[in-house]
Amino acid sequence: KTILVAGGAGYIGSHTVVELLNAGHRVVVVDNLSNSQENLVYCLAQQTIQYSFVAENVCDLERLNLVFDSYNIDVVFDFSGRKAVGESTLLPMLYYKYNINGTMNLLKCMRQHEVRDILFSSSCTVYGAPDQEALPIKEDDSVGCCQCPYAKCKYFVECLLSDLATGEPDYWRIMVMRYFNPVGAHESGLIGEDPKGDPLNLLPKLAQVATGKRPILDVYGEDYSTVDGSPIRDYVHVMDVATAHLRAVKHFQDISGIEIYNIGTGEGKSTWDMVKAFEAACGKPIPFRVCQRRPGDVPAIYCDPSKAERELGWKAGRSLKQMCEDLWRFYVLNPNGY
């Protein structure tokens, strides 16, 4: 199949592209490189003739239509959009503009070119602050009480997709994947997460402390009502996330309308679990200091991923150890990013 991957030069996008190419699919990446690296893209482009790269912004409808004219697209994977929670609070218009319009443009081009299959990258942040008694989270738990513009935009696009599926259930075949906390890197160490600006997630910060780029790890709160007092999250290896997308390609034929999947391990791990696992992976102690809780941080969030296992035959198989070791390998091989 020919798969258009919007945002395919980004973190989850690039790992997914590699899996798609390995499985023999043709891939057309559309990415404006606003938070990703051309190097990776050229590196991929040399690997295979199955791969094309188009440096466009999905928000440019005319040029996006030209991409659909040029390639015979079967499936769209939509990883487009900005993804920094903090930035979204400071610059909400940026998020409301790009993170909704990009997907809308993809949908318009799809409709015009009779493409029916789209997978949208959503996020566990659509669940807002979940009822701590009701964990693990299931796909039909309530959504929408989102904490930041980033999460709200994910929720809005989910609403749009669900309304499209209601309006034309015989046309659209839509999958929504709600990622929990994707971490790690490709086993080769060649691709990984190389965010521009300040990394806001725990694992990149751990790696920066280990390489000396960051003096100390800030741990936000140690008095949560969790097993060790630190927040619990559902960390999932980015290559497991990529595999979920590969499984999804075959699954569109079984869908009418829209299906939503939690993409996580189903196991909650604490900040201290991650610190220990990362110390073991990099062989160094990680200095830390405990700071105040951040507003909006929930004590625990982890998912029930059984729907993805049942329907896609997908299960996250990689351990915490692998997540940390693979991330560390990427940092050792790419001390200055790509």
Taking the C-alpha atoms of residue 176 and residue 263, their distance in angstroms, rounded to an integer, is 10
CB 263 within 8 A of CB 311: no
The one segment of 95-103, 219-227, 270-278, 294-302 that binds its own copies by CB under 8 A? 95-103
User: How many residues make up the chain in this entry?
Assistant: 338
Residues near its own copies (CB under 8 A), total: 25
Q: Which of 164, 217, 260, 308 binds its own copies (CB under 8 A)?
A: 164
Catalytic member of 11, 95, 127, 150 = 150
CB 216 within 8 A of CB 209: yes
Query: Smaller CB distance to its own copies: residue 163 or 198?
Result: 163
CB of 114 to its own copies, least distance (A): 16
Q: Is 42 a catalytic residue?
A: no
Taking the C-alpha atoms of residue 228 and residue 250, their distance in angstroms, rounded to an integer, is 41
Q: Which of 23, 55, 129, 145 binds its own copies (CB under 8 A)?
A: 145
Task: At 244, list the tokens.
Answer: 């979920």
Binders of its own copies in range 102-141 (CB under 8 A) = 104, 107-108, 111
Q: Does 101 bind its own copies (CB under 8 A)?
A: yes
Q: For residue 269, what is the enclosing H or E element? A: strand 269-270
Q: For residue 123, what is the enclosing H or E element? A: strand 117-123
CB of 102 to its own copies, least distance (A): 13
What single string gives the DSSP state of each residue in 193-241? ---SS---SHHHHHHHHHHTSSS-EEEE-S-SSSSSSS-EE-EEEHHHH
Q: Which of 63, 97, 138, 284 binds its own copies (CB under 8 A)?
A: 97
Task: Please report, as ranges, the residues that interact with its own copies according to CB under 8 A.
Answer: 89-93, 96-97, 100-101, 104, 107-108, 111, 144-145, 148-149, 152, 156, 159-160, 163-164, 166-167
The set of catalytic residues is 150
